A and B are shown apart, each in its own frame.
Chain A
Amino acid sequence: MIKAPLVAGMVLCSLALSALVAAPPTAEAAISYYNCVSKPPYQWCDGRANGSFDGLNSWDYNEGWNPGSGTFGVCERVYRPATGGQLPDSSCGTNWIGHYYGDVQCNCYEAEVLHEASGNRNINGYADSDFL
């Protein structure tokens, strides 16, 4: 009689622990600084190579900038690799660009930047998943 509740409790604890470990990623606040070193022009940088890739998240804000000298174009987007789509209104500016996408819910996006210089350049990005 005593063992039944004990076993039930252990099962419940086990299930709870499994749920905690195996739970899908939630849209918790995250800040990402990412960069690419000596990146060729017109190639999206998400920090995977020579950077700090922070995976998929519900990025509300994305920013790109030229960390070095000179002047060149910088573009940004928030990209959904599963579909090949992206959030609307991706943008380009000179040396620095910022974009607030609103309250993004899907935990399924990469924040990316690229540069338009004539040769390989460093490019930096900054993204925030909880901007409001």
Chain B
Amino acid sequence: MRRVILIAVLALAAVAGTALATGGGDREHPPTLAQGAELATAIPQDAKDAAATLATVRDQGDVIPEHLAEPLRRRAAFGANPDLSRRTVAQTTQSAYIVAGHDHVCLVLTNTETAGWNIICPTTQDLTAGRAGPLTVGLPDGALAVAGLVPDGIDTVHVSDGTDQTIPVENNTYYRVFPADQTPRTLTYDGPDGPVDWDLTNPHELPPAEP
């Protein structure tokens, strides 16, 4: 009986969630696999045109560990398929993967210590134009990870205000971890259409609780 009630509640939540997602404005909630999302089966040409990393031959090093790939498949955000991944950054604790979906290209930052991941999914159009926003992650001990995707042709990005550093772009990805005493506030680079400027939010500095 409890199972029946639970299923009913879940179904109601899904319906309510869909209504919420479609009734609140311009952007809908991208469905999960259970809600009918379809994973991309191939990397779209426009994504390859934006990021040549996606056009490379996929080898064993590009494979996301299965315990992290399975929840990605279940989320299926914008159709992003972890079986199409390319690893762009390989660090001891964190690795970055670029994963194509439907009209979106996702950056997945995995963490071996938490056995979890963070994900952003700019549109392919924004990535092509150099307007894909950064991902910031508040790491233990006050450290900050800054990562993001840029199109072909951008070799470096620059962070400033709090620390002043140039970060090389490798495989269409920039990534750097800043210790607690080096919190950058802005990220800039020369995009295809001119200078691009992003504010960087440090999750450690967000308010601790609801007012």
Contact = CB atoms under 8 A, between A and B. Distances in A.
Contacts of B119: 97-100
A67 B25 contact: yes
B207 interface: yes
B123 to A, nearest CB: 9
B199 A101 contact: no
B8 interface: no
Contacts of A122: 24-25
B75 A96 contact: no
A90 B72 CA distance: 18
B111 interface: yes
A46 B208 contact: no
A33 B20 contact: yes
Interface residues of B, number: 52
Given A89-B138, A93-B135, A31 B13 contact: yes
A69 interface: yes
Contacts of B71: 60-61, 100, 131-132
Given A29-B10, A32-B13, A67 B116 contact: no
Interface in B99-132: 111, 114-122, 132
Interface string A34-57: 010000001110101000100000
Given A33-B21, A73-B201, A100 B210 contact: no
Contacts of B48: none
A62 to B, nearest CB: 10
B21 A42 contact: no
B133 A94 contact: yes
Interface string A84-108: 1001111111111111111100000
B29 A77 contact: no
B211 interface: yes
Contact of A92 (B20, B135, B140, B208): B135
Contact of B25 (A69, A89, A116): A69
A58 interface: no
Interface string A20-32: 0000000011111
A81 interface: yes
Contacts of A81: 209
B210 A89 contact: no
B76 to A, nearest CB: 11
B17 interface: yes
B65 to A, nearest CB: 12
A-B complex: 7 closest residue pairs judged by Cβ atoms: A94-B133, A33-B17, A68-B25, A67-B24, A67-B25, A102-B115, A93-B120
13 contacts: A30-B10, A52-B16, A73-B201, A77-B203, A84-B208, A84-B209, A89-B116, A96-B27, A98-B121, A99-B116, A100-B71, A126-B21, A131-B74
Interface of B: 6, 10, 13-14, 16-17, 20-21, 24-27, 29-30, 32, 67-68, 70-72, 74-75, 77, 111, 114-122, 132-140, 198-199, 201, 203, 206-211
Given A93-B135, A99-B117, A131-B74, 10 more contacts: A31-B13, A66-B27, A89-B118, A89-B137, A90-B137, A95-B27, A102-B114, A124-B20, A126-B21, A132-B74
